[in-house]
Amino acid sequence: MKRRPSFSRSVFFTTIFFLSLPLFVLVLYSFNESKSGSWTGFSVRWYVKLFTGSPQLWHAFGNSAIVALSSALVATVIGTLGAVAVNWYKFRLRKYLRTITFLPMILPEIIIGVSLLIFFAGIGLRLSLFTVFVAHVSFNLPFVFLLVLARLEEFDISIIEAARDLGASETQTLLRVILPISMPGIVSGFLTAVTLSLEDFVITFFVTGPGATTLPLYVYSAIRFGVSPVINALSVVMILGTVVLTWSTRNFLKYIAAK
Amino acid sequence: MTTSKKKTIKWGFFIFFIPVFLWLSLLIILPQLELLRLSFMSTGKPGFTFKNYLAFFREPIYWLTFVRTAMYSILVTFIVMAIALPVSFYITKIARVKASGFLMVLLLVPFWVSELIRVYGWMILLRESGVINQVLVNLGLFKQPVEMLYNDATMIMGLVYTSMLFMVIPIIGVMESLDDSLIEAAYDLGAKKITIWRTIIIPYCMSGIISGAIIVFMLVLGSYLTPNLMGGKNSLWFTEQIYNQIIIYFNWNQGAAFGFLLLILSSLIIWVFLKISGQDLKKVIK
């Protein structure tokens, strides 16, 4: 359906322009020689400073990586087990389980952050990287749970029954049938969890302790209290990182789906 | 799949069930209950009190921030809707099939980048020593740089920017199944564009619009970074009031009460949206 120059087309391209403008400017100005908004010449000095002269930043990055990987791993294990429980067994608390896995996705982030802060203080747990880890597992868990469950539900359950009828033990059925079936859900759950964890600001903001600054928190304070072009360079690296990560995740999932 | 096919409980079941059950009960449900309890308490005094909720209504700065946040969130939702409809229409109905995949990527990539960095990009553009000011002063359009950050309009633009995708995706999902021949027929029968939008496209996409509106509204209402970094001193967001009570004044009871008011507001407006459209919340989130 092609029509005369349309209103929709102009809105579309204006929107694309509006969406990419700030990212484009970040990339461009990360190569700017000067610190200010005016262009004074091409330079990679901010990249050099990013990789060689920013120990605090890399410490924060290290914290982020530790939290993202460990919380995604734990959330993936617990979430997958839970999804299998809901899909495989019948029990009274199924409805409750579905509700509580749904809740963290609709609660405003700040409320999760505040309630966890109060809870940690209440049980006398000192704020540290560990509390950040616990918080991240809590908000990642529902995503893994729902992704794995969705995968299991779209699959014909009779294949499991067939395995059982043909004499597979419960453990065999689990490892040889259910696990491979849910693998795409598990992988996308894990990757979603890593991404969410790497990007989280608000919840981490409330539950972090001294020395446990994550990368988004570091970037926030750098932006808030003075501008350093090192952050521009970092942003570009992060943009590239997320684009590559998301792109490969999507292709990986397509590849699995096609198999 | 029928439940009758499910297995009955054996003890092995608990290995699957217990971790997720305990983790979420202890770290999501219990803290919410504790938050609710604290909101009815007062430091130093035992017993229940409505003091924190009363303070909200007595102090204009609190409830004004609350009302403003709600109003702006609704405004942002409508702006996003107005942009998302033509954008989705272009990508599903006008753009050539070959191009639409690439255009979709153009649309998505900015949202793969974290909110913090996108907001920072705008700050570089808009601040007093920023790129737009430099360009305008050099072109002679401005005599001196103007601070374009830290006001309501900029903040609203930022919120539209950060939440737009969540409206575009559900609308595209619905619009794809809209039969082109319906629109063509309307054209051939002499309908104006505005009539086609009003009587065919918008009613058809209503379920997508409502899902998008609910997600956008929830995100905007609960957002912290964008209002905090782009809004001015006078454009305080309600989430910042919560932050102030908890972190700055260390008044956790008051902060807890604010948290619940935010929760009530967001549930209420979502409930109204769902009532109007007769939809199911679980379907909306998916």
ipTM (interface pTM)? 0.86
- Among A220-224, B160-164, B178-182, the range with the most confident prediction by mean pLDDT is B160-164
In a domain, A20, yes or no: no
Is the confidence at residue A4, as pLDDT, over 90? no
- Which residue from B7, B28, B255 is facing A103, i.e. has the nearest CB? B28
User: What is the signed CA dihedral for A19, A252, A134, B242, rounded to 10 degrees?
Assistant: 20
In a domain, A197, yes or no: yes
Question: Tokens standing for B94?
Answer: 């006008």
In a domain, A201, yes or no: yes
Give B202 to chain A, closest Cα distance, Å: 14
- Which residue from B5, B25, B109 is facing A100, i.e. has the nearest CB? B25
Question: CATH number for the domain including A190?
Answer: 1.10.3720.10
pLDDT digits (tens, 9 = 90+) for B121-164: 998 888 887 888 888 888 888 888 888 888 889 999 999 999 99
Q: Which residue has the higher pLDDT, B146 or B213?
A: B213
Residue B262 and residue A105: Cβ atoms within 8 Å? no
Cβ contact A146:A168 at 8 Å: no
Give B269 to chain A, closest Cα distance, Å: 13
Residue from A114, A153, A236 whose CB has the most chain B CBs within 10 Å, to mutate = A114
Number of residue pairs across A and B with CB atoms under 8 Å?
256
Distance CA A170, CA B108 (A): 43
CA distances from A168 to A21, A153, A165, A176, B146 (A): 57, 21, 7, 9, 73
Instruction: Nearest chain A residue to B93 by CA: give it.
Output: A1
Domain interval for residue A117: 57-228
Taking contacts as CB-CB distances below 8 angstroms, the residues of chain A near B191 are none
Instruction: Nearest chain A residue to B23 by CA: give it.
Output: A138
Distance CA B52, CA B40 (A): 7
Q: Looking at the complex, does the CB of residue B86 fall below 8 Å from at least one CB of chain A?
A: yes
Structurally, chain A folds into a number of domains equal to 1
Backbone angles phi, psi at A201, to 5 degrees: -115, -55
In a domain, A37, yes or no: no
Indicate the domain borders of chain B: 48-112+158-285
pLDDT band at A129 (very low <50, low <70, confident <90, very high): very high
Q: Measure the CA angle with vertex B254, ends B248 and B258; round to 5°.
A: 100
In a domain, A168, yes or no: yes
Q: Point out the least confidently predicted range of A53-57, B144-148, B184-188, B282-286.
A: B282-286
Taking contacts as CB-CB distances below 8 angstroms, the residues of chain A near B81 are none
Give A12 to chain B, closest Cα distance, Å: 5
Residue A102 and residue B282: Cβ atoms within 8 Å? yes
Residue B114 and residue A238: Cβ atoms within 8 Å? yes
- Which residue from A89, A106, A231 is facing B7, i.e. has the nearest CB? A89
- Among B73-77, B108-112, B123-127, the range with the most confident prediction by mean pLDDT is B73-77
Residue B74 exposed, middle or buried by CB count within 10 Å (0-12, 13-18, 19+): middle
Is the confidence at residue B251, as pLDDT, over 80? yes
Question: What pLDDT score does B216 carry?
Answer: 94
In a domain, A76, yes or no: yes
Q: Point out the least confidently predicted range of A23-27, A67-71, B51-55, B189-193.
A: B189-193
pLDDT band at B5 (very low <50, low <70, confident <90, very high): very low
Q: Which residue has the higher pLDDT, B28 or B112?
A: B28
Give B94 to chain A, closest Cα distance, Å: 6
Beta bridge partners of A84: none
Question: What pLDDT score does B1 carry?
Answer: 40
Q: Which residue has the higher pLDDT, A38 or B82?
A: B82
Instruction: Tell me the average pLDDT across B248-259.
Output: 91
Which residue type sits at B277?
A: S
In a domain, A48, yes or no: no
Residue B262 and residue A90: Cβ atoms within 8 Å? no
Chosen CATH of B48-112+158-285 out of 1.10.3720.10, 3.90.1150.10, 1.10.760.10, 3.30.360.10: 1.10.3720.10
